Structure 1
Amino acid sequence: MFRVIPKHIRASPLWQLQTLPFAIRFLSSTPLCYPRPRLTLLPTSELVSRKLIQARLNSTSSTSRLQKFKRDYKEAWGKIWQTNPIGFPLTVLFVAVNAGLLIYIIYDRVTRVDPYLNRFPPEVAAPLRKALHHSEIRPDPILALQMFREALVVAEHVQMHPFSDEVLGIRIAAAEMLEKNGLVKASIDMLEKTLADCKEWVTSGRRKQMIIDKQRAHRTPAEIVDPETAEAEKTTREKEGREAKLRDQVMKKVIGIKIKLADLYSSNSVQDMDKAENSLIGAVTESASEVRRRRELNLPVSRDGGDDYINLTEIAASCNDLADLYVKKGKHHLAATLYIQSLGLIKEEEGQSTTCAQVVLLNNISSQMAEEAQRVTGKPGSISRADGPLISKPELLDAAALWAKKALDVAAHIKPPVRDEQCDQSCQAALYNLGEIAHMQKQFAEARDYYEQARELATQLQFEEGIKLANDAINRLNNKK
């Protein structure tokens, strides 16, 4: 841009004006405009070469800029490591951990939380989402419990069934939240209240249905000839069927709640083994009576018929849990009895197909009989025969050996993929138990043989505890010599 340079002109007196001839000469000698230079066109080849040169210059400049950026980046990176040798790696680790946590939260929400909340109406899902947030992401048990209660109130307002899977799931989730936050007694109280409500609803509903069925049995077919009456009767029966199915599902939850209560009562924060035992006894009793009722009504009791009711496997699991509790309390005769009941139920459920569950139970029966035999000295044991008299110590040891050998025999007929690690470990335990039984019977050569077999199998399984027990047993035999 041209610059205008100011020029100071001195004013002359008005009477000394320039004369006209001089002005005319000045104007005539000054050209009006300067001639424009004429452009000459370059050849096309020269233009192309100039463009190539310009492109190379541009690429060279961009390459130099990239190299300069890399060089500056390396220098900055080295300076950061030199000035912050500890803080910088910790910062990077912190950022990486937070990024991973964020990815996990998003993944968990998409795969677990959202599908769960989609089962609820939006009015219920809103407070429930807040409850889950304060249960898992920002733990606040008081606020989470408040949100769970609000979700239950809204669910009742929108007329959700109070004993549906969704509503009962809210109550159970609230109890789990309290347990995770260390409020075990509050969790127990909530589960006990849920259990009482479920049992009362199931009992009253079945009683009402029994009365309706009796009234319906005395009704004559002529009373429902009217099409509208027949349609209403059909709708009523469908509703009754849904309610009956829901009652079966609730009874299944009742058993699960009882088992969970037993677990909480036996936890370190409560340690009330009597209440734990009563809860498990209740679970076994309730499940057995439920299966008995279904059999009287010619309803299915196996898993093949569905998963909406208590089946034989679940009764066996209840018996097994109670037996495990009796093992902890040293009531080996009761534990053995319950293991035998559980085995019978599993056999009935599985039919011709045999799984590793039978091997585990057979070994458990053997171990409890051996424990009972070790407990008694000269007096009879606490386990009785079918005809009444108690079994003596030698008879208990013989029976324990038979149960252990039966476990090995059953396991030999189970092939992969049905046979798993649990089956192999049960076989190792059965061999060790046979060694212990032979040792108690003073058959030391046979005991050594079983111990060595147990050690060999434990080595193949890389079962460190089994190897240690077998080695200790062999050392005991060596010391006797």
Structure 2
Amino acid sequence: MFSRRLPRASQRACSRLSQPPHHPLQTFAKLPSQTRIPRPQCLARRNISTAAAAKKLFKESPFLFPLAGFCIIAGMAGFLYLPYYYQNYIIAPYHNFPEPVAKKLRRAIFYSSGRNVDVREANKYFRQGILLANELGMDPFSDEILGVKIAIAAMFEREQHFNLAIEVLEILRRDCYRWVEEVGPKHWTDGKRTKILSKTVELNVKLGELYSNKYVQDTDAAEERLVEAVETILKEKSRREKDGVQTGEGEWMSDEEVGASLEALGHHYEEKDLHYLATPLFLQALTLCPPKSCHSVVLMNNLSICLAQQTPTPTPDALPNSVPHIPPHSRAMIIDQARQWASKALASAAVITPPDRTEECDQGCAVATHNLGEFAEMEGKIQEARKRYQEAASLAKAVGFKEGEINAKEGLKRLKGKD
């Protein structure tokens, strides 16, 4: 019998027979060393450069494009500056205060400066800050709290409320002296006593300045405060020389600070025409002045002026018997001494060079030359006086010293017709 699968087998056999014969594969004796790959073609369009795009935008909008760029740069600068401003001008100045106190002080500063000055509001927030500081346990004689109280006085002074400024500083001065007497002996070794005592000197000098103000004109009170400042300085200096400086006590006031206090009292006596009292104070301040300081030129000029304005020593017949006899000084001798100090001022200014040389040297030269002209005028030497006044006027004009130029021209006017 035939199988029923036979027809399929025959069909597969037929299909195989019907396929074309296979050809053998072609082989190459040697393959090419490098296959060449065709370079792909870039069908996309090349993007325009940033500079070219900017030029195109500028040509299309010559006004709006720079304005937009400026706004972007300004915005970025402001964005970067705001954290710096906040940290250095809002937070840093008050980092020693508790935050509740700092908030009050920021409001006080806002109302005490700039265009938003409101003395009443500023004073209210200053005082609220001080009360909060006391409640939170801050030391009322710390540098921070003393600085706040001095800032209140400075605000009153700026707004020309001089009596209120004096009142604040007087209260602070009394508190500091009371602290030195009652609590100071407990703070020999931490330097706080020295710091508070030097603060009393500064307060006295400032009060002397305020009392001498033309809107107050309390010369007696000014003299009292300035004398108290000098006495405090000399008393503490004497104590240190006698008992020695204790460990941790700290240095006393510098020579320049002591000289400034002496000079302030000297100017006060000079304004009251007490030149015989002002002269030794200026001389002592000069000895404390650094050797290459232009301020020494100013002090020498002050000495020459004080000497020239002094009256000669009374004759022996005019003095009471209890006063010892002192050889009288003639007017010519006094003027000669004044001339010597003015000449020393010029010589000192000539040897001071930058960076030590300041405008005090330039103005001091003009003042000294003017003083020499006045001394010559006092002695009747008109030609020499005119020459000195002309030199003083040219020097003052060269350095921009308007007051010196005006005074020199006034001296020349006085000499007209005196030849």
Would the TM-score normalized by the shorter structure come out above 0.5?
A: yes
- 8 Å CA contact 1:362, 1:403 repeated in 2: yes
Alignment match, 2:110: 133
Instruction: Please say if 1:198 is aligned against 2:141.
Output: no
- 8 Å CA contact 2:313, 2:329 repeated in 1: no
Alignment match, 1:216: none
Alignment match, 2:91: 114
Render the CA deviation track for 1:171-223: whole Å, top value 9, x for unaligned: 212222333344322222121111101001112234x45xxxxxxxxxxxxxx
Alignment match, 2:279: 336
Mapped partners of 2:278, 2:82: distance in 1: 44
- 8 Å CA contact 1:251, 1:310 repeated in 2: no
Alignment match, 2:203: 257
Change (3 A) 1:455 1:67: closer
Mapped partners of 1:104, 1:175: distance in 2: 33
Question: How big is the alpha-carbon RMSD for the aligned residues of Structure 1 and Structure 2?
Answer: 4.1
Which residue of 177, 194, 205 corresponds with 2:155? 177
Alignment match, 1:319: 262
- 8 Å CA contact 1:288, 1:315 repeated in 2: no
Change (3 A) 1:152 1:309: farther
Structure 1: gaps spanning 5 or more residues:
1-44, 57-62, 74-102, 210-238
Change (3 A) 1:268 1:67: same
Query: What is the deviation of 1:112?
Result: 4.5
Query: What is the deviation of 1:478?
Result: 4.6
Mapped partners of 1:111, 1:392: distance in 2: 63
* 1:163-174 equivalent positions in 2, closer than 5 A: 163-174=141-152
Change (3 A) 1:175 1:476: closer
Name the aligned partner's letter for residue 120 of structure 1: F
Change (3 A) 1:104 1:336: farther
Mapped partners of 1:402, 1:69: distance in 2: 75
Query: What is the deviation of 1:165?
Result: 0.5
Change (3 A) 1:458 1:270: closer
**Matched residue count:** 358
- TM-score, normalised to structure 1, is 0.63
- 8 Å CA contact 1:343, 1:362 repeated in 2: yes
* 1:373-392 equivalent positions in 2, closer than 5 A: 373=311, 388=326, 391-392=329-330
Alignment match, 1:151: 129
Name the aligned partner's letter for residue 282 of structure 2: Y
Q: Secondary structure at the match of 2:124?
A: helix
Deviating more after overlay: 127-136 vs 162-171: 127-136
Query: What is the deviation of 1:389?
Result: 5.3
Instruction: Please say if 1:372 is aligned against 2:316.
Output: no
Query: What is the deviation of 1:405?
Result: 1.5
Change (3 A) 1:104 1:344: farther
Name the aligned partner's letter for residue 93 of structure 2: Y
Identical-residue share of aligned pairs (%): 34
Change (3 A) 1:455 1:387: farther
Mapped partners of 1:291, 1:271: distance in 2: 31
- 8 Å CA contact 2:315, 2:328 repeated in 1: no
Mapped partners of 2:149, 2:342: distance in 1: 44
Q: Secondary structure at the match of 1:269?
A: coil
- TM-score, normalised to structure 2, is 0.72
Structure 2: gaps spanning 5 or more residues:
1-40, 49-54, 65-79
